[in-house]
Amino acid sequence: MTTGTLITVAPTGAESAKAEVPALPVTLDELLLTAKECEALGAAVIHVHIRDDEARPTLDQGRLRETVAALRESTDLIVQLSSGGAVTDPEADRLAVLDAAPDMASCTMGTVNFGDDVFLNRWEFIVELHTRMQERGVVPEYEIFDLGHLTALQRLLGRYGLPHGGHVHVDFVMGVPGGMPGTTETLVAARQMLRDLPEGTTFSATGIGRSTIPVLLASLSTGGHLRVGMEDTVTYAKGRPVESNMQLVARAVGFAQLAQRPPLTTAEARELLGL
């Protein structure tokens, strides 16, 4: 059944440098402003990476807690912390993200080449993340960078059970150099593989860089949801840098409305995700 569209904003990420992308929100004030603007436009979930005083990616526990509290105070957005961090972050710090007690956290379902780097996600680490989230009542969003990650998810759920809340939601992160391409054909193949996952599993999709629009259109037309934001897209159109996350959320909302699948409210999103 086709529903409205869950819109997630991923405003910052860990990859872009503030010096190269001045519009990137890196301070708490910048993040809160972006969050409020994007919520007003129709975003329901915020996928959060934070930065330190030098705008470098960090998983500092104090800052994470402060960020979760501030987002809850200023918005009704569902707060999803990244447990992926940056490719250089140690596993212990990535697991400790859950100590900041977000509503949701990402859980990447396998290792993937990541440009010139490797985004390492060992099986034992994934199991630890999944079971800790079950214990603490944090709802996962399973990040799928390649088709085999869906097979790993099937294995994970078969061995360790459903996530907290019982609903399975995955996010196809497409077009990473080293992962699955951001094409309609690949999205359709990934969607087909969802039939091996629990009934009712939902998916979002995001295409990195120039795959942003093809993936957005393919996701909407196949009943999927959307993730957009400057974590994934820093060029709005050829020769036009993204000016703010609002611009990307507004474009996603426009496409969702054209598809007659308007944005879900935060309350509807909570219900969909089993929060």
Q: What does 232 interact with, of Zn ion, ligand KMH, none (CB < 5 to 8 A by kind)?
A: none
Interface with Zn ion by CB under 5 A: which range of 32-40, 63-71, 80-88, 145-153? 80-88
Helix H or strand E segment including 240: strand 240-241
Q: What does 247 interact with, of ligand KMH, Zn ion, none (CB < 5 to 8 A by kind)?
A: none
- Distance of alpha carbon 57 from alpha carbon 49, whole angstroms: 7
**Secondary structure E strands in 103-159:** 104-108, 112-114, 117-119, 139-144
State residue 111 phi and psi, 5-degree precision.
-75, 145
Residue 8's nearest CA partner among 43, 34, 48 is 43
Report in angstroms how near the CB of residue 225 gets to ligand KMH at its nearest: 17
Q: Which of 77/86 has CB closer to ligand KMH?
A: 86
- Distance of alpha carbon 83 from alpha carbon 107, whole angstroms: 6
The length of the chain in residues reads 275
Interface with ligand KMH (CB under 6 A), residue from 25, 84, 175, 263? 84
Interface with ligand KMH by CB under 6 A: which range of 10-18, 125-133, 243-251, 267-275? 10-18
Q: Two tokens at 256?
A: 């969702």
> Taking the CB of residue 227, how many other CB atoms lie within 10 A of it?
30
Report in angstroms how near the CB of residue 82 gets to ligand KMH at its nearest: 3
Q: For the chain, how big is the Rg over CA atoms in Å? A: 17
State residue 167 phi and psi, 5-degree precision.
-100, 140
Interface with Zn ion by CB under 5 A: which range of 51-59, 77-85, 115-123, 241-249? 77-85
- CA dist 56 → 67, 143, 162, 176, 216 (Å): 16, 23, 35, 21, 29
Report in angstroms how near the CB of residue 91 gets to ligand KMH at its nearest: 13
Q: Does 175 bind ligand KMH (CB under 6 A)?
A: no
Interface with Zn ion (CB under 5 A), residue from 8, 58, 75, 82? 82
Interface with ligand KMH by CB under 6 A: which range of 23-31, 82-90, 155-163, 198-206? 82-90
Which ranges in 161-274 belong to alpha helices (H)? 184-193, 212-221, 245-258, 266-273
Q: Which residue has the CB atom at the shortest distance from ligand KMH?
A: 84
> Taking the CB of residue 16, how many other CB atoms lie within 10 A of it?
18
Q: Does 16 bind ligand KMH (CB under 6 A)?
A: no
Return the SS3 of 143.
strand
Q: Does 180 bind ligand KMH (CB under 6 A)?
A: no
Interface with ligand KMH (CB under 6 A), residue from 5, 34, 82, 186? 82
Task: Please tell me the count of residues contacting Zn ion according to CB under 5 A.
Answer: 1
Q: Specify the amino acid at residue 171.
A: D
Q: What does 5 interact with, of Zn ion, ligand KMH, none (CB < 5 to 8 A by kind)?
A: none
Interface with Zn ion by CB under 5 A: which range of 17-25, 58-66, 81-89, 241-249? 81-89
Contact residues for Zn ion, defined by CB under 5 A = 82
Q: Which residues of this chain interact with ligand KMH, rule CB under 6 A?
A: 13-15, 82-84, 86-87, 106, 108, 114, 119, 143
